[in-house]
Structure 1
Amino acid sequence: MKKKIRMKFIHTADWHLGQLFHEYDRTYEHQQFLNRLIEVIKEQKTDVLLISGDVFDLSNPSALTVRMFYTFLNRASRVSKDLQIIITAGNHDSPSRLESPQPLLESSNIHIVGTVEKKADGSINFEKLIIPLKNKEGETEALCLAIPFLRMGDYPVVAECSDPYAEGVAELYRQVTSNAVSQLEQGQSLIAMGHLYAAGAERSGNDEQERPILGNIECVTASAFPVELKYVALGHIHKAQKIGGLDHIRYCGSPIPMSFSEVNYTHQVLSFDLTGGIIQNLEAVEIPAAIPLLRVPERHKPLHEVLLAISELPDNDGDINIAPYLEAKILLEGPEPGLRHKIEMALKGKRARLAKIDVKHPALSVAGETTLITSKKLEEIKPIEIFNKVYESKYNVAVPEVLTTLFNQVYQEASHIENK
């Protein structure tokens, strides 16, 4: 009987190296995360590191960003000479660019899968997608299905189905799993990777921007992942969570904040053991925020209250370039000229950097019902009525009398010029 040997895994994804946070460079934050990940790999005596897509934020990352990534790979390999690293491409990565160094890595334990390669007959090259994972004794303990973000043409076409994407993705996982099962020997297990949007996943603020990248196509369900898979390491959604109520199908979440909606969210990587085909000790390893997020105030308040709250922030006594990011939440009843300047002036000398101004307007209660406007009625609408409607729709309050007077003056002057 094959001896049961524990293998330690770390699951991470969505690094987005090179990303700007409201125009602020994040090199410091990313480097702090990578430093912490090196510590985790060493502390946990990690055997396998799974990176499930979106290594980079841009398909054409800067030279500095690329250097940061490959320096990490070098450091990680030196920390543990037997560490196996499996990297798949996400939708932000350039598939071909990401895997281009693979020939140089063939003699190492680093595997990068950016594309779903096809053979001359159009069939999938399963050999590229199925990577053996070896235990400390050099024996294959598991097979990893390293599946990157799937674009049209990567997954099989399923005839007569209601959702070509979701069913195509499920079919690809079925085919790759079936092929891997045929290779399994006694005591070996299957795990998988993926970068996709799973049904029921709870998104953070930044994830709302990710959906259009998929072309608004349907998401996949937990049933897309065959029952033979002991663990599914997902990326794409930035909030850590399990899918379909199943502990073994997981998003690890992004390791650093991606939006102010994550101000109270603890970032992490996931750690688990694989022993004799059983997943054990699945737990989150916290990644402390290198640069905190601040919301001032917690709820939208009038400008004068916000400025007062900002004045009470701690004075800056260190490097302002690593000071907390600030989101100012302001309640306005109308236009506020020079709003950003006023906030920046209040922030002078404070330990915070203005990243975002979130403005809301008080709700306007309007009696009556919505009516349709005929062409004749449209011709009868006065310019001041249009002005009022536009202003009210934008600010949710009635137009101040002073603005109505100014508008009428401008309109009369324009009419006078037109009639000359």
Structure 2
Amino acid sequence: MKFLHTSDWHIGQTFYDFDRHQEHQAFLNWLNQTISEQDIDVLLVAGDIFDTANPSGASITLFYSFLSEITNAYPNLQVVIIAGNHDSAIRLEMPIPLLQNTKVSIIGNVKKNVDKSIDYDALTISLTNYQNEVEVFCLAVPFLRIGDYPKNEAGVYEYNYGISKFYTEAFDNINLKKKSNQTIIAMGHLHAMGVETNIEDTAERPIIGGVENINTSSFPSDLKYVALGHIHKPQRLSANDAIRYSGSPIPLSFSEKTYKHQVVIFEINKGIFENLEIIEIPIHTPLLSIPKQNKVWEEVLFELENLPIKNDEDKNAPYLEVKVLLDKPIPDLKNRIQEIVQTKNVRLARIDTKLPRKDKSSNENVLVNEIELYNLQPIQVLNTIYNDKYNEDIPEEFNQMFNDILVEINQENQN
């Protein structure tokens, strides 16, 4: 059986006021073609289908049109989709009644039995081979929130313990029922310990502040493959290639412009994981930083003036990030840059300015970003204020309390 693993589509993302509908359409067209060319049996989509919990009508139409296309074109294709932290579990599961006669499975949330125990059967997807026999069970685990996973021995929701316990119990639930010629894979949307991310990328920071870095030992060792989502940089987490993030299909921030966006293809034959293949996704619209590192205005001006002249026929002109090093604020900086680039074959998306500031400990100048509210996360604001006031990092217990509050607010918003 041949599998394709992808994740973190973030359909509907607005990139500095630019709509990315055409980029996502191009990716889904490419994915459709790749499914055909590679003769894929199972498509695994590991969360963050949409960029927000309340996507636009155009985003919803794009996603479900894609599902309609592939189910009609490949009636034997099996599709397993889980919700990520950006998705609304309820909204994602809404079309399930319309998918009854297809081989599409969408898992948005964790269901409970009458006795309040976790319904692991509802997360277990049976995948059949060409003989229409169940050969692989997929443990499809969506993004887990407080209340979704088991409590620890003290009766408290402890994230790392709970996630590990969840996967162990779910695996055991399948393992007790499966036959000797059947095997198990898993999916998840989480932040694993030891992942490589870009320090400038706020989107890839831990979901709940740092306490939720899951060790790969939390996944049962007998799982043949673990298809993960959330981290946008594609990477493996085990020496045998069997635990992987596929990464985002398009760059979702300028810090991702150097990533090799890709999908992961692998096979499971008679219980053996093999034939791993990485297929790079073509970039529809490039991202360009001028210069690559922040420089003084005179040097930036020179590089901007040497950009290619505007080409009205180029529908995929690069998104431009301008990186300026300031010794003092320039009030009309934005207007100056806009005036120059309006005749260039780029689309101005972001102006990144840095100012030198004295480091309290070393008394040396360090570069800091000017405040960009759309990049700030609540936990960052709390940590910054605490550090400025007390000159030390916030205690972990305060971090945990604050994160618990955020999760509860998020759950209320989901409902």
Query: Alpha carbon RMSD of aligned pairs, Å?
Result: 2.4
Which residue does 1:57 correspond to in 2? 51
For the residue of structure 2 that corresponds to 1:301, the secondary structure is: strand
Q: CA offset at residue 66 of structure 1?
A: 0.3
Q: Comparing 324-333 with 259-268, which one deviates more in the overlay?
A: 259-268
Q: Secondary structure at the match of 1:247?
A: coil
Report what 2:24 is aligned to: 30
Partners of 1:315 and 1:369 in 2: CA distance: 44
Q: Does 1:301 align with 2:299?
A: no
Cα distance in 2, alignment partners of residues 165 and 61 from structure 1:
28
1:187 has 2:181 as partner = yes
Measured against aligned partners, the alpha-carbon deviations of 1:352-399 in whole angstroms (never above 9, x if no partner) come to 1111111123466999989xxxxxxxxxxxxxxxxxxxxx9999xxxx
Partner in structure 1 of residue 402 of structure 2: none
Matches within 5 A, 1:75-86: 75-86=69-80
Measured against aligned partners, the alpha-carbon deviations of 1:298-336 in whole angstroms (never above 9, x if no partner) come to 222111221221111111223565310111111111010
2:91 is aligned with what amino acid? R
Superposition deviation, residue 264 in structure 1? 2.1
Change (3 A) 1:271 1:394: closer
Preserved CA contact (<8 Å) 2:43 2:78: yes
- Aligned pair partner of 1:290 in 284, 291, 294: 284
1:358 partnered with 2:352: yes
Task: Note the C-alpha offset of 1:210.
Answer: 4.8
Question: Paired residue for 1:270, among 264, 268, 272?
Answer: 264
- Aligned to 2:166, the other structure's residue is in SS state helix
Q: Structure 2 counterpart of 1:250, which letter?
A: R
Residue in 1 aligned with 2:375?
none
Shift of 1:162: 9.8
- 1:95 corresponds in structure 2 to 89
CA contact (8 A) 1:144 1:190 kept: yes
**Other-structure match for 1:373:** none
- AA in 2 matched with 1:218: E
Q: TM-score, normalised by structure 2?
A: 0.84
Equivalent in the alignment of 1:409: none
Contact map agreement 1:205 1:260 (CA 8 A) in 2: no
C-alpha deviations, 1:106-145, integer Å up to 9, x for none? 2210000001100110111122100100111211110000
Which residue of the partner structure matches residue 404 of structure 1? none
What amino acid sits opposite 2:311 in the alignment?
A: D
| Residues in 2 aligned to 1:163 and 1:117: alpha-carbon distance in whole angstroms | 17
- Relative distance call for 1:304 and 1:277 in structure 2 (3 A) is same
Q: Please say if 1:9 is aligned against 2:38.
A: no
- Write the mapping of 1:5-404 to structure 2, written as runs, cut at 5 A: 7-160=1-154, 164-204=158-198, 207-211=201-205, 213-319=207-313, 322-362=316-356
In structure 2, distance between residues paired with 1:56 and 1:17: 4
Letter in 2 for 1:72: F
Which residue type is aligned with residue 37 of structure 1? L
Looking at structure 1, the residues matched to 152 and 137 of structure 2 have their Cα atoms a distance apart, in angstroms, of: 26
1:207 deviation in Å? 5.0
Whether contact under 8 Å (2:234, 2:260) holds in the other structure is no
Residue 249 (structure 1) shift: 0.5
Q: Structure 2: which 5+ residue stretches go unaligned?
A: 371-415
- Cα distance, 1:161–1:306 mapped onto 2, change above 3 Å: farther
Letter in 2 for 1:19: Q
Equivalent position amino acid for 1:94 in 2: S
The amino acid across from 2:4 in the alignment is I
Q: Secondary structure at the match of 2:185?
A: strand
Q: Sort the Cα spacing of 1:109 and 1:329 in 2 relative to 1 into closer, same or farther, 3 A.
A: same
Number of the residue aligned with 1:379: none
SS in 2 for 1:234: strand
**How many pairs were matched up?**
368
Q: Is the 8 A contact 2:191 2:207 kept in 1?
A: no
- Residue type at the aligned position of 2:193: A
In 2, the alpha carbon distance for the partners of 1:339 and 1:50 equals 46
Shift of 1:181: 0.5
* Whole-Å separation in 1 of the counterparts to 2:296 and 2:37: 49
Structure 2 counterpart of 1:382: none
Q: Deviations over 1:264-304 (max 9, x none)?
A: 22101111111111111112111111000111112221112
AA aligned to 2:293 is: R
Query: Aligned partners of 1:228 and 1:368: how far apart in 2?
Result: 50
- Find the aligned partners of 1:205 and 1:60 in 2 and give their Cα distance: 28
Select between 17-26 and 358-367 the one with higher mean Cα deviation.
358-367
Distance 1:218 1:299 in 2: 32
Offset of 1:258 from its aligned partner? 1.3
Q: Which residue of 2 aligns with 1:405?
A: none
| Alignment-mate amino acid for residue 199 of structure 1 | M
Structure 1, unaligned stretches of length 5 or more? Answer: 1-6, 371-391, 396-420
Q: Which amino acid aligns with 2:37?
A: E
- Looking at structure 2, the residues matched to 257 and 209 of structure 1 have their Cα atoms a distance apart, in angstroms, of 11
Change (3 A) 1:361 1:254: same
Bigger radius of gyration, 1 or 2? Answer: 1
Question: Residue 400 of structure 1 corresponds to which residue in structure 2?
Answer: none
- Mapped contact 1:313–1:350 kept (Cα < 8 A): yes
Distance verdict in 2 for CA 1:218–1:367, change over 3 Å = closer
Identity across matched positions, percent: 46
